[in-house]
Structure 1
């Protein structure tokens, strides 16, 4: 891995992969829905949509044809803390990928008529999410976990906030949040680092210097969100405050989550599905952010079995914090290492890994360092991480679920 910081503050990182003839190129922006004011909830995601409507003298069709004429793909995504613009190309077309991404974030053609049309698209996306219980329940859980905070709001926004966004708001968002110090250009695959630095210096010369404002600190509140449905299926999500990505307890907490519900051999899967047949889908996960995290459990079950499923989840969680075994620790530790190494076998896996480490730690972190941290987690640390998460407040979101009292 190589890293260069330009005078503007833009970080340029690369990972060369021998034997690869393609490359993944991405611009990773440290901004997302967590950076939004409440009246503009959804603007980070809408901005990501709007830049593809035309940029740098190219129309939306011109952009699509430019990348697809060379067999490439251009895409983007937005979450609560990051927005990414990405290109997959054959190695000789890296310059085009960098040029297109630079145009998207520096020279978008924001047009009021296009904005109204794209709002309709985003509202359809929001409606589709709300019609899918196992999607929207996680927004409900987030809202309960971080009530009345930016981190608790939906990435997609609301009908009211989306409708209120103007072209001027989009321009201000770009000016405030796409500053060189908050951006990282990453390429992995068949890539020459010095050439990538030259391309970045040329194509991102118009970036404003400085960094985006830091979002407000998050505070786990806990609480309940109850949704109704006429379906025979019931959905439950539980959430607990957890360590952030750079917290010393992060890997212990993550391994605890994996042991509880990270796979077919996990306790939740074995006891709820295999032994009792109470749920078709059940799992846990740990979502880290810069300063906090969320340990969550999800289950989809028949309404008639929902109370029994909820009770058994409580029992599994309470027991796991005291009785996780050395064998379970060894299994999830091995799974974590294998998952990391497997993900790094593709250019996109490498690019995302490099960007994540730079954004979290401000430096390049070799995979061997991550593996060493995972190896350090012993039985007492994983149990203590579980106890710590489960002993605090909790959040709960349900759809089609009867009222369930917390244990």
Structure 2
């Protein structure tokens, strides 16, 4: 469903995360124990969670039990009990989860990097991307039963996607879904824009920490752009295995960090590059310098051999991702939400096979992520030798 933590009402950060837990505390005339027993009686494995832009509900079981399992999911999202007496416990759990960020520097860094890189949209009544799914202490304090019930009205058919992988004819699947979710409210499908603060710089002191953690964020490519696959292949060359540029330059050649990576991040329909490394405090400045240098090298293009390796890795990843039925169901919903259509494995591999070195290098020649990168560091000490920003620190739409 297209409502995630970014849609939390401003001042009630944490609403989506608490609400997702609350929905499972009874539904369809069952209390919390009765609902859990109903799933267990079918042998169904539940999955899901809250992301910045969506809340996911998943179930895996036998095809013979599909109708009953789907009915349970429908009860959860459309007919929840929302018992008020359960709410204090859920709020306490959310506070514990939020406090747990202090014990996980990479997660804390990711939250702070999101807050710096994606400020709230002026005039929007939603909290935006500047907080984790657990919320904020002030937001959790402000949450109550009435506000969460009002927030639930945003959940409904609009923008929601059902991904189903089963031995079932498409028309039968459609009819089953139509019957099961008949009468569900319309809901709301209103994406939160992602405004990116280009060139931001921030160091966060972390007393007692033994490592310095580094985060780089930069503009990327929209999923619906013709440059999406060339960008994905370039990211595979940058951080796709033991021979990738970041791994070789940061770890193998210099021994600066045990972990270094870069991956795509999609928010508000736009794509961004997100890179991370953890290093010792003494070597962290050099680690950051090498990471930025590798980003600066991208416009120079790829060599034939690294193109071949990245091409193979990207194509292989598509095949492996299709092996799991649960993963395929996830891909169905992701594709419709991000790309506006379902991409078949065969069709996607054909598109990747058609990519050429010249096409990827033509894209890279005009892609300069280092110039606009936002940098956040977390570690011991009150200061860090952050490089100067190449761009003004104004929040802009990535497509500007």
- Normalised by the length of structure 1, the TM-score is 0.87
Shift of 1:266: 0.7
Confirm or deny: 8 A CA contact 2:194 2:267 kept in the other structure: no
Structure 2 counterpart SS, 1:84: strand
Match among 220, 241, 248 for residue 196 of structure 2: 220
Measure, in 2, the Cα distance between the counterparts of 1:208 and 1:214: 15
2:397 corresponds in structure 1 to: none
Shift of 1:369: 2.8
Aligned length, in residue pairs: 377
* Of 75-84 and 147-156, the range deviating more from structure 2: 147-156
Q: Determine whether 1:198 maps to 2:175.
A: yes
Match among 380, 387, 390 for residue 405 of structure 1: 387
Measure, in 1, the Cα distance between the counterparts of 2:98 and 2:234: 33
Confirm or deny: 8 A CA contact 1:263 1:283 kept in the other structure: no
2:393 corresponds in structure 1 to: none
Q: Determine whether 1:250 maps to 2:228.
A: yes
Confirm or deny: 8 A CA contact 2:295 2:368 kept in the other structure: no
* Of 153-162 and 270-279, the range deviating more from structure 2: 153-162
2:101 corresponds in structure 1 to: 129
Structure 2 counterpart SS, 1:345: coil
RMSD of aligned alpha carbons:
2.0
Shift of 1:372: 3.3
Q: Assess, with a 3 A threshold, how the Cα gap between structure 1 residues 357 and 107 changes in structure 2: closer, same or farther.
A: same
Q: Assess, with a 3 A threshold, how the Cα gap between structure 1 residues 245 and 156 changes in structure 2: closer, same or farther.
A: farther
- Normalised by the length of structure 2, the TM-score is 0.88
Gaps of 5+ in 2: 122-127, 391-400
Structure 1 counterpart SS, 2:285: helix
Shift of 1:213: 4.0
Match among 281, 298, 301 for residue 303 of structure 1: 281
Shift of 1:281: 0.4
Shift of 1:190: 3.0
Q: Determine whether 1:80 maps to 2:58.
A: no
Shift of 1:44: 1.6
Confirm or deny: 8 A CA contact 1:278 1:301 kept in the other structure: yes
2:210 corresponds in structure 1 to: 232
Structure 2 counterpart SS, 1:77: strand
Q: Assess, with a 3 A threshold, how the Cα gap between structure 1 residues 133 and 331 changes in structure 2: closer, same or farther.
A: same
Shift of 1:84: 0.9
2:398 corresponds in structure 1 to: none
Structure 1 counterpart SS, 2:196: coil
Q: Determine whether 1:276 maps to 2:251.
A: no
Measure, in 2, the Cα distance between the counterparts of 1:81 and 1:389: 27
Measure, in 2, the Cα distance between the counterparts of 1:240 and 1:366: 29
Deviations along 1:318-345, one digit per CA (max 9) or x if unpaired, are: 2233142122122112211111111111
2:348 corresponds in structure 1 to: 370
2:245 corresponds in structure 1 to: 267
Shift of 1:376: 4.1
Shift of 1:398: 0.8
Shift of 1:300: 0.5
Deviations along 1:372-399, one digit per CA (max 9) or x if unpaired, are: 3333443344345445241542211111
Gaps of 5+ in 1: 1-28
Shift of 1:250: 1.7
* Of 185-194 and 131-140, the range deviating more from structure 2: 185-194
Shift of 1:141: 1.3
